[in-house]
Structure 1
Amino acid sequence: MTALRTHASVVASYWDAAAPTFDREPDHGLWEESTRAAWARLLARWVPEPPARVLDLGCGTGSLTVLLAAAGHRVTGVDLSPAMVGAARAKLADAGLAGEVLVGDAADPPVRGPAAPADDPGHADAIPGAPPVTPGDGWDAVVVRHLLWTMPDPLAALRRWVSLLRPGGRLVLIEGRWAESAAPSSPYGEGAEPLPWAGGVPAEALEEAIRPLVAAWMTVPLSGDPVLWGGPVDDERYAVVARSRWARRPEQGPPRLTEVLRAARR
Protein backbone atom coordinates (compact mmCIF):
# COMPACT_ATOMS: atom_id res chain seq x y z
CA MET A 1 0.00 0.00 0.00
CA THR A 2 1.46 3.37 -0.96
CA ALA A 3 1.90 6.26 1.47
CA LEU A 4 -0.76 8.21 -0.41
CA ARG A 5 -3.30 5.42 -0.02
CA THR A 6 -2.40 5.02 3.63
CA HIS A 7 -2.98 8.72 4.23
CA ALA A 8 -6.28 8.66 2.33
CA SER A 9 -7.45 5.60 4.26
CA VAL A 10 -6.59 7.19 7.62
CA VAL A 11 -8.35 10.43 6.73
CA ALA A 12 -11.45 8.68 5.35
CA SER A 13 -11.73 6.55 8.48
CA TYR A 14 -11.44 9.63 10.70
CA TRP A 15 -14.28 11.42 8.95
CA ASP A 16 -16.37 8.26 8.65
CA ALA A 17 -16.26 8.07 12.45
CA ALA A 18 -17.15 11.77 12.75
CA ALA A 19 -20.07 11.65 10.30
CA PRO A 20 -22.85 10.53 12.70
CA THR A 21 -22.33 13.54 15.01
CA PHE A 22 -20.88 16.03 12.54
CA ASP A 23 -24.08 18.03 12.11
CA ARG A 24 -24.42 18.73 15.84
CA GLU A 25 -22.24 21.79 15.34
CA PRO A 26 -24.54 24.67 14.32
CA ASP A 27 -22.34 25.74 11.40
CA HIS A 28 -22.03 22.15 10.17
CA GLY A 29 -25.65 21.04 10.24
CA LEU A 30 -27.12 24.51 9.60
CA TRP A 31 -30.15 23.37 11.55
CA GLU A 32 -31.27 26.91 12.44
CA GLU A 33 -33.26 28.62 9.71
CA SER A 34 -31.41 31.88 10.37
CA THR A 35 -28.05 30.14 9.87
CA ARG A 36 -29.18 28.50 6.63
CA ALA A 37 -30.52 31.81 5.35
CA ALA A 38 -27.30 33.64 6.21
CA TRP A 39 -25.16 31.13 4.32
CA ALA A 40 -27.60 31.11 1.38
CA ARG A 41 -27.31 34.91 1.10
CA LEU A 42 -23.52 34.77 1.06
CA LEU A 43 -23.42 32.00 -1.54
CA ALA A 44 -25.81 34.00 -3.73
CA ARG A 45 -23.31 36.89 -3.69
CA TRP A 46 -20.24 34.79 -4.34
CA VAL A 47 -21.44 32.20 -6.87
CA PRO A 48 -22.61 33.14 -10.40
CA GLU A 49 -26.34 33.30 -11.01
CA PRO A 50 -28.12 29.94 -11.35
CA PRO A 51 -28.08 27.62 -13.06
CA ALA A 52 -24.30 27.48 -12.67
CA ARG A 53 -22.09 24.39 -12.56
CA VAL A 54 -20.82 24.38 -8.99
CA LEU A 55 -18.33 22.01 -7.38
CA ASP A 56 -18.55 21.69 -3.58
CA LEU A 57 -15.25 20.19 -2.41
CA GLY A 58 -14.93 18.53 0.98
CA CYS A 59 -18.72 18.76 1.09
CA GLY A 60 -19.05 16.72 4.29
CA THR A 61 -22.67 15.99 5.07
CA GLY A 62 -23.79 18.27 2.26
CA SER A 63 -25.16 21.31 4.06
CA LEU A 64 -23.80 23.77 1.49
CA THR A 65 -24.47 21.29 -1.32
CA VAL A 66 -28.16 21.40 -0.44
CA LEU A 67 -28.21 25.22 -0.29
CA LEU A 68 -26.56 25.43 -3.70
CA ALA A 69 -28.96 22.91 -5.22
CA ALA A 70 -31.94 24.69 -3.66
CA ALA A 71 -30.76 27.92 -5.31
CA GLY A 72 -31.02 26.23 -8.71
CA HIS A 73 -27.38 25.36 -9.34
CA ARG A 74 -26.14 22.15 -10.95
CA VAL A 75 -24.03 21.04 -8.03
CA THR A 76 -21.56 18.21 -7.54
CA GLY A 77 -20.16 17.47 -4.09
CA VAL A 78 -16.96 15.55 -3.40
CA ASP A 79 -15.77 14.08 -0.11
CA LEU A 80 -13.21 11.42 0.82
CA SER A 81 -15.47 9.88 3.48
CA PRO A 82 -18.10 7.41 2.21
CA ALA A 83 -20.16 8.06 5.35
CA MET A 84 -20.17 11.80 4.73
CA VAL A 85 -21.11 11.22 1.08
CA GLY A 86 -23.98 8.98 2.15
CA ALA A 87 -25.28 11.68 4.48
CA ALA A 88 -25.02 14.33 1.76
CA ARG A 89 -26.88 12.17 -0.75
CA ALA A 90 -29.61 11.54 1.83
CA LYS A 91 -30.01 15.28 2.47
CA LEU A 92 -30.46 15.97 -1.23
CA ALA A 93 -32.97 13.14 -1.55
CA ASP A 94 -34.91 14.23 1.54
CA ALA A 95 -35.13 17.76 0.15
CA GLY A 96 -36.22 16.51 -3.28
CA LEU A 97 -33.24 18.18 -4.91
CA ALA A 98 -31.08 17.09 -7.83
CA GLY A 99 -27.35 16.85 -7.33
CA GLU A 100 -24.40 14.50 -7.50
CA VAL A 101 -22.12 13.56 -4.60
CA LEU A 102 -18.95 11.59 -5.27
CA VAL A 103 -16.46 9.77 -3.07
CA GLY A 104 -13.05 11.21 -3.89
CA ASP A 105 -10.06 13.20 -2.75
CA ALA A 106 -10.99 16.89 -2.68
CA ALA A 107 -7.34 17.80 -3.30
CA ASP A 108 -7.58 16.10 -6.70
CA PRO A 109 -11.29 15.58 -7.30
CA PRO A 110 -12.57 12.99 -9.80
CA VAL A 111 -13.96 15.63 -12.17
CA ARG A 112 -12.68 17.42 -15.25
CA GLY A 113 -12.04 21.07 -15.95
CA PRO A 114 -11.71 23.20 -19.09
CA ALA A 115 -9.19 22.61 -21.85
CA ALA A 116 -7.03 25.56 -22.78
CA PRO A 117 -6.50 26.48 -26.43
CA ALA A 118 -2.82 26.38 -27.35
CA ASP A 119 -2.80 30.14 -28.03
CA ASP A 120 -4.50 31.08 -24.74
CA PRO A 121 -1.79 31.41 -22.06
CA GLY A 122 -4.18 33.24 -19.77
CA HIS A 123 -6.54 30.32 -19.33
CA ALA A 124 -6.66 28.48 -16.00
CA ASP A 125 -5.32 25.27 -17.52
CA ALA A 126 -2.15 27.09 -18.55
CA ILE A 127 -1.02 26.66 -14.92
CA PRO A 128 1.96 24.27 -14.91
CA GLY A 129 1.01 20.77 -13.86
CA ALA A 130 -2.68 21.07 -14.69
CA PRO A 131 -4.07 17.75 -15.99
CA PRO A 132 -5.28 17.30 -19.59
CA VAL A 133 -9.03 17.77 -19.89
CA THR A 134 -11.86 17.70 -22.41
CA PRO A 135 -12.81 20.89 -24.31
CA GLY A 136 -16.12 22.40 -23.28
CA ASP A 137 -15.92 21.35 -19.63
CA GLY A 138 -15.24 23.71 -16.76
CA TRP A 139 -16.88 24.80 -13.54
CA ASP A 140 -18.54 28.15 -13.01
CA ALA A 141 -17.61 28.01 -9.33
CA VAL A 142 -15.63 25.83 -6.95
CA VAL A 143 -16.71 26.21 -3.32
CA VAL A 144 -14.46 25.00 -0.50
CA ARG A 145 -15.25 25.46 3.19
CA HIS A 146 -12.81 24.78 6.04
CA LEU A 147 -10.85 22.23 4.04
CA LEU A 148 -7.36 23.60 3.45
CA TRP A 149 -6.24 22.66 6.97
CA THR A 150 -6.72 18.99 6.01
CA MET A 151 -4.41 19.19 2.97
CA PRO A 152 -0.85 17.76 3.11
CA ASP A 153 -0.04 20.07 0.16
CA PRO A 154 -2.49 22.98 0.24
CA LEU A 155 -0.69 24.90 -2.51
CA ALA A 156 -1.02 21.98 -4.92
CA ALA A 157 -4.70 21.74 -4.01
CA LEU A 158 -5.21 25.43 -4.79
CA ARG A 159 -3.56 25.01 -8.19
CA ARG A 160 -5.77 22.03 -8.97
CA TRP A 161 -8.94 23.85 -7.94
CA VAL A 162 -8.15 26.88 -10.08
CA SER A 163 -7.45 24.58 -13.04
CA LEU A 164 -11.02 23.27 -12.83
CA LEU A 165 -12.62 26.68 -13.39
CA ARG A 166 -13.87 27.95 -16.70
CA PRO A 167 -12.37 31.29 -17.80
CA GLY A 168 -13.71 33.88 -15.39
CA GLY A 169 -15.01 31.22 -12.99
CA ARG A 170 -14.98 31.76 -9.24
CA LEU A 171 -13.12 30.05 -6.45
CA VAL A 172 -14.81 30.53 -3.08
CA LEU A 173 -12.56 29.66 -0.13
CA ILE A 174 -14.25 29.86 3.28
CA GLU A 175 -11.43 29.57 5.78
CA GLY A 176 -10.07 30.67 9.14
CA ARG A 177 -7.32 30.44 11.70
CA TRP A 178 -8.45 28.81 14.95
CA ALA A 179 -5.28 27.44 16.60
CA GLU A 180 -2.86 29.62 18.58
CA SER A 181 0.06 27.21 18.23
CA ALA A 182 2.48 27.85 15.38
CA ALA A 183 2.64 24.10 14.73
CA PRO A 184 -0.68 22.51 15.74
CA SER A 185 -0.88 18.75 15.63
CA SER A 186 -2.87 16.76 13.08
CA PRO A 187 -5.93 14.94 14.44
CA TYR A 188 -5.40 11.99 12.11
CA GLY A 189 -2.69 10.10 13.97
CA GLU A 190 -0.34 7.43 12.69
CA GLY A 191 -0.20 6.88 8.95
CA ALA A 192 -1.25 10.40 8.00
CA GLU A 193 0.99 12.95 6.33
CA PRO A 194 1.92 16.24 8.06
CA LEU A 195 -0.57 19.09 7.64
CA PRO A 196 1.18 22.47 7.25
CA TRP A 197 -2.05 24.40 7.87
CA ALA A 198 -3.49 22.12 10.56
CA GLY A 199 -4.59 25.07 12.71
CA GLY A 200 -6.14 26.92 9.81
CA VAL A 201 -4.61 29.63 7.65
CA PRO A 202 -4.58 33.41 8.20
CA ALA A 203 -6.24 35.44 5.46
CA GLU A 204 -2.97 37.18 4.61
CA ALA A 205 -1.21 33.86 3.99
CA LEU A 206 -4.04 32.54 1.80
CA GLU A 207 -4.09 35.75 -0.21
CA GLU A 208 -0.37 35.36 -0.84
CA ALA A 209 -0.88 31.75 -1.94
CA ILE A 210 -3.72 32.53 -4.33
CA ARG A 211 -2.18 35.69 -5.81
CA PRO A 212 -0.23 34.07 -8.68
CA LEU A 213 -3.08 31.75 -9.65
CA VAL A 214 -6.03 34.07 -10.28
CA ALA A 215 -6.97 37.32 -11.99
CA ALA A 216 -8.21 39.02 -8.81
CA TRP A 217 -9.77 38.31 -5.46
CA MET A 218 -11.41 39.92 -2.48
CA THR A 219 -11.41 38.91 1.19
CA VAL A 220 -14.62 39.06 3.22
CA PRO A 221 -14.35 38.98 7.06
CA LEU A 222 -16.89 36.60 8.61
CA SER A 223 -15.99 36.46 12.31
CA GLY A 224 -18.30 39.33 13.18
CA ASP A 225 -21.55 37.60 12.18
CA PRO A 226 -22.54 35.16 14.96
CA VAL A 227 -25.52 33.91 12.97
CA LEU A 228 -23.17 32.12 10.57
CA TRP A 229 -21.59 30.11 13.37
CA GLY A 230 -24.47 29.56 15.78
CA GLY A 231 -22.98 32.07 18.22
CA PRO A 232 -20.09 34.49 18.72
CA VAL A 233 -16.57 33.40 17.71
CA ASP A 234 -13.25 34.98 18.69
CA ASP A 235 -10.98 33.46 16.04
CA GLU A 236 -10.31 34.56 12.47
CA ARG A 237 -12.92 33.48 9.91
CA TYR A 238 -13.24 34.84 6.41
CA ALA A 239 -13.86 34.06 2.74
CA VAL A 240 -11.56 34.66 -0.19
CA VAL A 241 -13.56 34.98 -3.42
CA ALA A 242 -11.30 34.78 -6.47
CA ARG A 243 -11.84 35.03 -10.20
CA SER A 244 -9.91 32.81 -12.61
CA ARG A 245 -8.02 34.25 -15.54
CA TRP A 246 -10.18 35.11 -18.52
CA ALA A 247 -9.70 33.78 -22.05
CA ARG A 248 -9.45 37.00 -24.07
CA ARG A 249 -8.06 38.03 -27.39
CA PRO A 250 -4.74 39.88 -27.05
CA GLU A 251 -6.29 43.16 -28.17
CA GLN A 252 -8.78 42.99 -25.30
CA GLY A 253 -6.09 43.07 -22.64
CA PRO A 254 -6.45 41.64 -19.14
CA PRO A 255 -9.72 42.02 -17.22
CA ARG A 256 -9.98 45.15 -15.10
CA LEU A 257 -9.95 44.62 -11.35
CA THR A 258 -13.22 46.52 -10.95
CA GLU A 259 -14.84 44.26 -13.54
CA VAL A 260 -13.81 41.15 -11.64
CA LEU A 261 -14.80 42.34 -8.18
CA ARG A 262 -18.11 43.83 -9.26
CA ALA A 263 -19.40 40.39 -10.21
CA ALA A 264 -18.13 38.80 -7.00
CA ARG A 265 -19.97 41.38 -4.86
CA ARG A 266 -23.38 40.78 -6.46
Structure 2
Amino acid sequence: MESSGELGYFDALTDVGLRHALNKPWSDPDRGRMLQQLGALMSILPPPPARVLDLGCGTGWLSWMLQTSGYDVAGVDLAPRAVELAEAYVAQMAMPGHIDVGVPTFLASPVEALPFDSEFDAAIFFDSLHHVPDEVAAIASVARALKPGGVLLTSVPGRGQAAASAAVIEEFGVNERDMPVGRIRKAGEAAGLIHVATLSRADELGAHLYGWVTKPPTLRSRLLNRSPLRVVKHFITSEARRLDNGIVVMRRPEA
Protein backbone atom coordinates (compact mmCIF):
# COMPACT_ATOMS: atom_id res chain seq x y z
CA MET A 1 0.00 0.00 0.00
CA GLU A 2 1.18 3.52 -0.79
CA SER A 3 2.30 5.54 2.20
CA SER A 4 0.48 8.77 3.03
CA GLY A 5 3.82 10.50 2.42
CA GLU A 6 3.58 9.99 -1.34
CA LEU A 7 0.05 11.39 -1.45
CA GLY A 8 0.91 14.46 0.59
CA TYR A 9 4.50 15.07 -0.48
CA PHE A 10 3.89 18.12 -2.66
CA ASP A 11 1.49 19.63 -0.12
CA ALA A 12 4.22 19.30 2.53
CA LEU A 13 6.91 21.13 0.54
CA THR A 14 8.03 24.59 1.58
CA ASP A 15 8.03 27.38 -1.00
CA VAL A 16 11.73 26.75 -1.58
CA GLY A 17 11.15 23.03 -2.06
CA LEU A 18 8.27 23.67 -4.43
CA ARG A 19 10.32 26.07 -6.54
CA HIS A 20 13.01 23.44 -6.77
CA ALA A 21 10.48 20.78 -7.87
CA LEU A 22 8.95 23.08 -10.48
CA ASN A 23 12.27 24.16 -11.98
CA LYS A 24 13.90 20.79 -12.45
CA PRO A 25 16.28 19.85 -13.91
CA TRP A 26 17.84 23.32 -13.87
CA SER A 27 17.26 23.87 -10.16
CA ASP A 28 18.96 20.67 -9.08
CA PRO A 29 22.55 20.95 -7.78
CA ASP A 30 23.26 17.70 -9.65
CA ARG A 31 21.76 19.03 -12.88
CA GLY A 32 24.74 18.00 -15.00
CA ARG A 33 24.43 14.35 -14.07
CA MET A 34 20.63 14.50 -14.37
CA LEU A 35 20.87 15.85 -17.91
CA GLN A 36 23.35 13.12 -18.80
CA GLN A 37 20.81 10.53 -17.61
CA LEU A 38 18.06 12.16 -19.65
CA GLY A 39 20.25 12.31 -22.75
CA ALA A 40 20.85 8.58 -22.48
CA LEU A 41 17.13 7.83 -22.10
CA MET A 42 16.22 10.01 -25.07
CA SER A 43 18.82 8.19 -27.15
CA ILE A 44 17.12 4.87 -26.38
CA LEU A 45 13.49 5.94 -26.81
CA PRO A 46 11.74 5.16 -30.09
CA PRO A 47 11.67 8.27 -32.30
CA PRO A 48 8.86 10.84 -32.17
CA PRO A 49 5.90 10.93 -32.49
CA ALA A 50 5.85 7.81 -30.32
CA ARG A 51 3.40 7.82 -27.42
CA VAL A 52 5.28 7.86 -24.10
CA LEU A 53 4.13 7.23 -20.53
CA ASP A 54 6.02 9.25 -17.87
CA LEU A 55 5.61 7.33 -14.61
CA GLY A 56 5.87 9.26 -11.36
CA CYS A 57 5.83 12.50 -13.35
CA GLY A 58 5.77 14.86 -10.36
CA THR A 59 5.44 18.46 -11.51
CA GLY A 60 5.56 17.46 -15.18
CA TRP A 61 8.91 18.90 -16.21
CA LEU A 62 10.09 15.69 -17.91
CA SER A 63 6.72 15.20 -19.57
CA TRP A 64 7.03 18.70 -21.01
CA MET A 65 10.60 18.11 -22.24
CA LEU A 66 9.46 14.95 -24.02
CA GLN A 67 6.40 16.67 -25.49
CA THR A 68 8.49 19.51 -26.90
CA SER A 69 10.76 16.86 -28.43
CA GLY A 70 7.82 15.67 -30.52
CA TYR A 71 6.44 12.87 -28.36
CA ASP A 72 2.80 12.38 -27.38
CA VAL A 73 3.11 12.19 -23.59
CA ALA A 74 0.91 11.11 -20.71
CA GLY A 75 2.22 11.76 -17.21
CA VAL A 76 1.02 9.75 -14.21
CA ASP A 77 1.52 10.51 -10.54
CA LEU A 78 -0.13 9.14 -7.43
CA ALA A 79 -0.59 12.59 -5.87
CA PRO A 80 -3.47 14.73 -7.16
CA ARG A 81 -1.50 17.83 -6.08
CA ALA A 82 1.36 16.79 -8.37
CA VAL A 83 -1.06 16.56 -11.30
CA GLU A 84 -2.44 20.03 -10.50
CA LEU A 85 1.07 21.44 -10.47
CA ALA A 86 1.98 19.62 -13.69
CA GLU A 87 -1.06 20.95 -15.52
CA ALA A 88 -0.33 24.49 -14.32
CA TYR A 89 3.33 24.11 -15.29
CA VAL A 90 2.68 23.07 -18.88
CA ALA A 91 -0.06 25.69 -19.27
CA GLN A 92 2.52 28.33 -18.37
CA MET A 93 5.18 26.85 -20.62
CA ALA A 94 2.85 26.47 -23.62
CA MET A 95 2.41 30.22 -24.04
CA PRO A 96 0.61 31.67 -27.10
CA GLY A 97 3.03 32.40 -29.90
CA HIS A 98 5.27 29.43 -29.16
CA ILE A 99 5.55 26.51 -31.57
CA ASP A 100 2.44 24.40 -31.17
CA VAL A 101 3.63 21.05 -29.84
CA GLY A 102 0.49 20.24 -27.91
CA VAL A 103 0.59 19.54 -24.20
CA PRO A 104 0.99 16.34 -22.20
CA THR A 105 -2.03 14.85 -20.49
CA PHE A 106 -1.83 14.06 -16.78
CA LEU A 107 -3.56 11.55 -14.58
CA ALA A 108 -3.59 10.98 -10.82
CA SER A 109 -3.38 7.20 -10.37
CA PRO A 110 -1.36 4.52 -8.60
CA VAL A 111 1.09 3.04 -11.08
CA GLU A 112 -0.11 -0.39 -9.95
CA ALA A 113 -3.59 0.34 -11.36
CA LEU A 114 -3.09 2.19 -14.66
CA PRO A 115 -6.27 2.48 -16.77
CA PHE A 116 -4.43 1.79 -20.04
CA ASP A 117 -4.34 -1.24 -22.31
CA SER A 118 -1.84 -1.55 -25.19
CA GLU A 119 -1.66 2.22 -25.77
CA PHE A 120 1.99 3.30 -25.43
CA ASP A 121 5.14 2.82 -27.49
CA ALA A 122 7.36 3.48 -24.47
CA ALA A 123 7.18 4.04 -20.73
CA ILE A 124 9.78 5.62 -18.44
CA PHE A 125 10.50 5.33 -14.75
CA PHE A 126 12.97 8.16 -14.25
CA ASP A 127 14.03 8.42 -10.60
CA SER A 128 10.61 7.16 -9.51
CA LEU A 129 10.27 3.34 -9.34
CA HIS A 130 11.98 3.26 -5.93
CA HIS A 131 9.05 5.28 -4.53
CA VAL A 132 6.58 2.52 -5.46
CA PRO A 133 5.96 -0.02 -2.66
CA ASP A 134 5.30 -2.96 -5.01
CA GLU A 135 7.46 -2.93 -8.13
CA VAL A 136 6.01 -6.26 -9.31
CA ALA A 137 2.45 -4.92 -9.47
CA ALA A 138 3.66 -1.60 -10.89
CA ILE A 139 5.63 -3.12 -13.74
CA ALA A 140 2.82 -5.58 -14.51
CA SER A 141 0.46 -2.60 -14.85
CA VAL A 142 2.94 -0.81 -17.13
CA ALA A 143 3.39 -3.94 -19.25
CA ARG A 144 -0.36 -3.95 -19.91
CA ALA A 145 -0.20 -0.27 -20.90
CA LEU A 146 2.49 -0.90 -23.53
CA LYS A 147 1.68 -1.81 -27.10
CA PRO A 148 3.12 -5.10 -28.36
CA GLY A 149 6.75 -4.26 -29.04
CA GLY A 150 6.65 -1.28 -26.68
CA VAL A 151 9.63 -0.64 -24.39
CA LEU A 152 9.99 0.11 -20.69
CA LEU A 153 13.03 2.12 -19.59
CA THR A 154 14.07 2.49 -15.96
CA SER A 155 16.78 4.78 -14.60
CA VAL A 156 16.52 4.75 -10.81
CA PRO A 157 18.75 4.59 -7.72
CA GLY A 158 20.04 1.16 -6.79
CA ARG A 159 21.44 -0.19 -3.56
CA GLY A 160 21.92 2.22 -0.69
CA GLN A 161 19.02 4.52 -1.58
CA ALA A 162 17.02 3.80 1.57
CA ALA A 163 19.97 4.48 3.86
CA ALA A 164 21.00 7.60 1.96
CA SER A 165 17.45 8.98 2.15
CA ALA A 166 16.80 8.39 5.85
CA ALA A 167 16.31 12.11 6.52
CA VAL A 168 13.78 12.46 3.68
CA ILE A 169 11.87 9.40 4.89
CA GLU A 170 11.77 10.83 8.39
CA GLU A 171 10.58 14.27 7.26
CA PHE A 172 8.01 13.32 4.62
CA GLY A 173 7.16 9.67 5.30
CA VAL A 174 7.79 8.69 1.68
CA ASN A 175 9.00 5.40 0.22
CA GLU A 176 12.72 5.41 -0.61
CA ARG A 177 13.58 1.82 -1.47
CA ASP A 178 16.69 0.14 -2.79
CA MET A 179 15.87 -0.79 -6.38
CA PRO A 180 18.81 -2.68 -7.93
CA VAL A 181 18.77 -3.96 -11.48
CA GLY A 182 18.11 -7.57 -10.50
CA ARG A 183 14.88 -6.66 -8.73
CA ILE A 184 13.66 -4.67 -11.75
CA ARG A 185 14.50 -7.45 -14.18
CA LYS A 186 12.74 -10.04 -12.04
CA ALA A 187 9.58 -7.92 -11.88
CA GLY A 188 9.66 -7.27 -15.62
CA GLU A 189 10.11 -10.91 -16.52
CA ALA A 190 7.26 -11.85 -14.16
CA ALA A 191 5.09 -9.42 -16.13
CA GLY A 192 6.03 -11.09 -19.41
CA LEU A 193 8.52 -8.47 -20.56
CA ILE A 194 11.71 -9.43 -22.37
CA HIS A 195 14.96 -8.06 -20.98
CA VAL A 196 16.75 -6.30 -23.85
CA ALA A 197 19.73 -4.72 -22.12
CA THR A 198 21.11 -3.25 -18.93
CA LEU A 199 23.23 -0.24 -19.83
CA SER A 200 25.68 1.89 -17.91
CA ARG A 201 24.13 5.18 -16.85
CA ALA A 202 25.61 8.15 -18.67
CA ASP A 203 26.00 10.08 -15.43
CA GLU A 204 28.13 7.28 -13.99
CA LEU A 205 30.45 7.55 -16.98
CA GLY A 206 30.30 11.34 -16.81
CA ALA A 207 31.34 11.36 -13.17
CA HIS A 208 34.53 9.50 -14.08
CA LEU A 209 35.25 11.47 -17.25
CA TYR A 210 34.50 14.98 -15.99
CA GLY A 211 33.94 14.96 -12.24
CA TRP A 212 37.63 14.85 -11.33
CA VAL A 213 38.29 18.22 -12.99
CA THR A 214 36.67 20.29 -10.21
CA LYS A 215 38.12 18.27 -7.33
CA PRO A 216 41.30 19.38 -5.52
CA PRO A 217 44.14 17.97 -7.62
CA THR A 218 46.51 15.37 -6.25
CA LEU A 219 49.55 13.85 -7.86
CA ARG A 220 47.72 10.52 -8.14
CA SER A 221 44.69 12.10 -9.85
CA ARG A 222 46.88 14.05 -12.26
CA LEU A 223 48.80 10.96 -13.28
CA LEU A 224 45.72 8.70 -13.53
CA ASN A 225 43.49 11.09 -15.44
CA ARG A 226 46.24 11.87 -17.93
CA SER A 227 47.02 8.22 -18.51
CA PRO A 228 45.43 5.85 -21.02
CA LEU A 229 44.82 3.59 -18.02
CA ARG A 230 41.96 5.90 -16.97
CA VAL A 231 39.84 4.42 -19.78
CA VAL A 232 40.20 0.95 -18.27
CA LYS A 233 39.47 2.28 -14.79
CA HIS A 234 36.34 4.12 -15.95
CA PHE A 235 35.07 1.09 -17.85
CA ILE A 236 35.54 -1.32 -14.95
CA THR A 237 33.93 1.04 -12.43
CA SER A 238 30.96 1.80 -14.68
CA GLU A 239 30.43 -1.87 -15.50
CA ALA A 240 30.33 -2.70 -11.80
CA ARG A 241 27.77 0.04 -11.17
CA ARG A 242 25.73 -1.02 -14.22
CA LEU A 243 24.71 -4.19 -12.42
CA ASP A 244 23.41 -2.10 -9.52
CA ASN A 245 21.75 1.02 -10.94
CA GLY A 246 22.06 0.75 -14.71
CA ILE A 247 19.41 1.66 -17.26
CA VAL A 248 17.16 -1.37 -17.72
CA VAL A 249 15.51 -1.79 -21.12
CA MET A 250 12.63 -4.28 -21.39
CA ARG A 251 10.23 -4.93 -24.23
CA ARG A 252 6.69 -6.27 -24.45
CA PRO A 253 6.67 -9.20 -26.87
CA GLU A 254 5.13 -8.67 -30.29
CA ALA A 255 1.64 -10.05 -30.64
Q: TM-score normalised by the shorter chain: which range applies? A: 0.5 to 0.7
Residue equivalent to 2:53:
55
Residue equivalent to 2:20:
24
Structural RMSD (CA): 3.8
1:151 correspondence with 2:156 = no
Contact kept, 8 Å, 1:16 with 1:82, in 2: the verdict is: no
- How far did 1:208 drift? 2.9
Equivalent of residue 105 in structure 1, options 95, 104, 110: 110
- How far did 1:10 drift? 4.3
Provide the C-alpha distance between the structure 1 equivalents of 2:37 and 2:205, rounded to a whole number of angstroms.
Answer: 14
Query: Unaligned 5+ residue runs, structure 2?
Result: 95-101, 216-237
The one-letter code sitting in structure 2 at the alignment partner of 1:179 is G
- How far did 1:155 drift? 0.8
Query: Identity of paired residues, percent?
Result: 26
Local SS of the residue matching 1:160: helix
Residue equivalent to 2:39:
41
Provide the C-alpha distance between the structure 2 equivalents of 1:100 and 1:180, rounded to a whole number of angstroms.
Answer: 30
Change (3 A) 1:19 1:79: farther
Change (3 A) 1:102 1:245: same
Q: What is the number of residues matched between the two proteins?
A: 210
1:210 correspondence with 2:188 = yes
Provide the C-alpha distance between the structure 2 equivalents of 1:158 and 1:55, rounded to a whole number of angstroms.
Answer: 12
The correspondence of residues 184-203 of structure 1 with structure 2, limited to 5 A, is 198-203=176-181
Residue equivalent to 1:134:
none
- How far did 1:49 drift? 1.1
Contact kept, 8 Å, 1:143 with 1:173, in 2: the verdict is: yes
The one-letter code sitting in structure 2 at the alignment partner of 1:174 is S
Provide the C-alpha distance between the structure 2 equivalents of 1:55 and 1:12, rounded to a whole number of angstroms.
Answer: 20
Provide the C-alpha distance between the structure 1 equivalents of 2:25 and 2:161, rounded to a whole number of angstroms.
Answer: 26
**So what's the TM-score if we normalise by structure 1?**
0.65
Give a deviation string over 1:154-191, Cα, whole Å, max 9, x none. 11111111111100001111112252778x879667xx
Equivalent of residue 157 in structure 2, options 157, 173, 176: 176
The one-letter code sitting in structure 2 at the alignment partner of 1:207 is R
1:11 correspondence with 2:6 = yes
Contact kept, 8 Å, 2:33 with 2:207, in 1: the verdict is: no
The one-letter code sitting in structure 1 at the alignment partner of 2:73 is V
Contact kept, 8 Å, 2:148 with 2:254, in 1: the verdict is: yes
- How far did 1:84 drift? 1.9
Contact kept, 8 Å, 1:23 with 1:61, in 2: the verdict is: no
Structure number, greater radius of gyration: 2
Change (3 A) 1:22 1:143: farther
Local SS of the residue matching 1:155: helix
Residue equivalent to 1:262:
none
The one-letter code sitting in structure 1 at the alignment partner of 2:199 is V
The correspondence of residues 238-249 of structure 1 with structure 2, limited to 5 A, is 238-247=246-255
The one-letter code sitting in structure 1 at the alignment partner of 2:49 is P
The one-letter code sitting in structure 2 at the alignment partner of 1:100 is T
The correspondence of residues 127-138 of structure 1 with structure 2, limited to 5 A, is 138=119
Equivalent of residue 147 in structure 2, options 166, 169, 183: 166
The one-letter code sitting in structure 2 at the alignment partner of 1:108 is A
Residue equivalent to 1:85:
83
Give a deviation string over 1:183-218, Cα, whole Å, max 9, x none. x879667xx89x6xx432112332233234212321
The one-letter code sitting in structure 2 at the alignment partner of 1:209 is A
